[in-house]
Structure 1
């Protein structure tokens, strides 16, 4: 049996795309006769506080689903203050170094990036000729930070670029969740071995049931992080509610603002449902006509994993983020697109939709397309050939 270690910043019971992605990778490798262990912080995301049941400890090790999970101390924070965020990343890096000093590591290690500093800690301290380091890149930092307005092109940015290049250089294999990520990496290191590893979900697809539209309005839903990058608060203020009823699931930095907006604007046909477990969310989503996948800014290299998850649910999508994600929606006919931040174009697109566009037959076709083209098990088998 092959031993393999996964080092990540996010893992269940934390919620979100990053946590789900790494969990499915770990579980999939375990089912293919790998002895899998995971190093991750004590769960704290997205609230920025250590979860109940994990507080007051420096390290907690458990075996879950035949996977050994080492949860290490972190200074948990979701503060917008850059210094506090840096301290949080450094605290986990110090915990990793401590773990590396006292524990024998397997010869194959998968390192999640970003965060860049955490990935750098791993690539620097555990590199050796006998160990195969696999870097799993889900977003391009610091480029994404620059596009989001979190960074400026100064000394700090140049330092992060050097760290980014060091991480790619020391990796024996780089996994990228988009073609844009792999293009960027091979532009820096043309001979680097790469593998396109999409964020395909691993769950049993539901049986679709045809349901009538009772309200006459399109029941559109967003489910996910209520953060700055998604721009859900801005979306709430710009939607034309004559034809749309907007439902929201999730938590994050904009949660309080959205709740206050709903309470003070009765004309906005918005329903906030809070945060629920992913298994429950899948059942809840089946009652809606359409989902929206927004990004406030087009982020090079980013492809929201929701595309593949919703495809498997047979869920028509309105993509509002540009880039490679937009190309996937159009290539596989999964729904509609509108230019990011162009709310006039978004409302125009919504005004054109009718019941025929959101038919049971279209949903069935989306699910068939997803099952054929977004196959987690087939992709995992291909990846194992590289490991």
Structure 2
């Protein structure tokens, strides 16, 4: 039985795409007879506060479903202050170094990136011990930060680019969740071994029990209410003539969204708060359509919601551009509108009729999801090269 250590900044009971992705990877490798352990911070995302059950602890070790999980100390923060965010990342990096010094590390290590600095810490301290290092790249930093306006092209940005290049060079294998990510990696480090590893979900598709709404289309967004998703702007720009908008999740824009809804009671917008992923799957089935937005097109980004909603059979309106748009079109998963073009978004919404959102359409989406986005077959290919 081969030992594998996964190092990540996000893991359940935290929620979100990154946490789900690593959890399913760990579970999948365990089922393929790998001896899996996980290194992660004390749970704190997305609130920026250590979860109640873990407060006051410097380290927490548990075995969950035969997976050893070591949760390390972190200075938790979700502040917009860049210095505080940097301190948070460095604190986890210091905890990792301390763990590396005092514990035996398996020969095979999978490292999640971003955060770049955390990945850099792993690449720097573990490569010297001749580990087989696998870098799992879910987003391209610092490029994504530049496109979102979080960075400027200055000395700090150039330093992050050097860290990024260092991480790629030190990795024996790079996993990327999009073709764009892998193309970028190969442009930075020529002839690097890469593997396309999408964030496919692992759950049973539900039984279809759905009838289209007779009145306005019930459109839902579920996920992080962050700057990149632009849900606050979306609330302001949508044409509500033929739709009602339902929102689930939490994040930096939550308070602004709640205030906007309070100040505009005439608009058919409902904020439902945060629910667990398991609950969410059942909740989403009552809606006619889901929207997957990005405030700006982010190079390399493919929202994992695409694959999750395909298994649910939920028709999608994609509003983010790039590779995600291509996937929606190629596999007939719904509609697309040009990223950032709210006039086009409203035109597309106006063109969607209740009759289009049929049980047949949902069944076709589920079948395409089963065929094209299969977690088990992807994992089988991955485990053969680890």
- Bucket of the pairwise TM-score, normalised by the shorter protein: over 0.9
TM-score by length of 1: 0.99
Partner of 2:376: 377
Q: Report the alpha carbon displacement of residue 15 of structure 1 after superposing the two structures with TM.
A: 0.3
Q: Which blocks of at least 5 consecutive residues in structure 1 are unaligned?
A: none
Q: Report the alpha carbon displacement of residue 208 of structure 1 after superposing the two structures with TM.
A: 1.0
Partner of 1:348: 347
TM-score by length of 2: 0.99
Partner of 1:134: 134
Q: Report the alpha carbon displacement of residue 129 of structure 1 after superposing the two structures with TM.
A: 6.3
Q: Report the alpha carbon displacement of residue 12 of structure 1 after superposing the two structures with TM.
A: 0.2
**Partners in 1 of 2:340 and 2:159 — Cα distance?**
31
SS of equivalent residue, structure 1 residue 126: helix
**Partners in 2 of 1:349 and 1:328 — Cα distance?**
18
- Does the alignment pair 1:296 with 2:295? yes
SS of equivalent residue, structure 2 residue 123: helix
Residues 148-195 of structure 1 deviation map (CA, whole Å, 9 limit, x = unaligned):
000000000000000000000000000000000000011122211100
**Partners in 1 of 2:147 and 2:118 — Cα distance?**
21
Q: Which blocks of at least 5 consecutive residues in structure 2 are unaligned?
A: none
Which one is further off, 75-84 or 356-365? 356-365
- Does the alignment pair 1:88 with 2:88? yes
Partner of 1:172: 172
**Partners in 2 of 1:259 and 1:146 — Cα distance?**
28
- Does the alignment pair 1:76 with 2:91? no
**Partners in 1 of 2:292 and 2:178 — Cα distance?**
17
**Partners in 1 of 2:256 and 2:243 — Cα distance?**
21
**Partners in 2 of 1:50 and 1:380 — Cα distance?**
32
Q: Report the alpha carbon displacement of residue 212 of structure 1 after superposing the two structures with TM.
A: 4.1
- Does the alignment pair 1:53 with 2:53? yes
**Partners in 2 of 1:191 and 1:324 — Cα distance?**
22
**Partners in 2 of 1:295 and 1:345 — Cα distance?**
15
**Partners in 2 of 1:95 and 1:355 — Cα distance?**
53
CA contact (8 A) 2:148 2:228 kept: yes
Residues 20-50 of structure 1 deviation map (CA, whole Å, 9 limit, x = unaligned):
0000000000111000000000000000000
Would you identify which runs of 4 or more consecutive aligned residues in structure 1 move more than 3 Å? none
**Partners in 2 of 1:254 and 1:212 — Cα distance?**
30
Partner of 1:105: 105
- Does the alignment pair 1:191 with 2:188? no
CA contact (8 A) 2:58 2:73 kept: yes
SS of equivalent residue, structure 1 residue 36: strand
**Partners in 2 of 1:169 and 1:117 — Cα distance?**
15
SS of equivalent residue, structure 2 residue 221: strand
SS of equivalent residue, structure 2 residue 317: strand
Partner of 2:124: 124
Residues 77-114 of structure 1 deviation map (CA, whole Å, 9 limit, x = unaligned):
00000000000000000000000000000000000000
**Partners in 2 of 1:337 and 1:85 — Cα distance?**
34
Partner of 1:37: 37
Q: Report the alpha carbon displacement of residue 128 of structure 1 after superposing the two structures with TM.
A: 3.4
Partner of 1:328: 327
Residues 254-299 of structure 1 deviation map (CA, whole Å, 9 limit, x = unaligned):
1111111111102211011100000000000000000000000100
Alignment of 1:139-288 (within 5 A): 139-214=139-214, 216-288=215-287
Q: Report the alpha carbon displacement of residue 381 of structure 1 after superposing the two structures with TM.
A: 0.1
SS of equivalent residue, structure 1 residue 97: helix
Partner of 2:28: 28
CA contact (8 A) 2:7 2:40 kept: yes
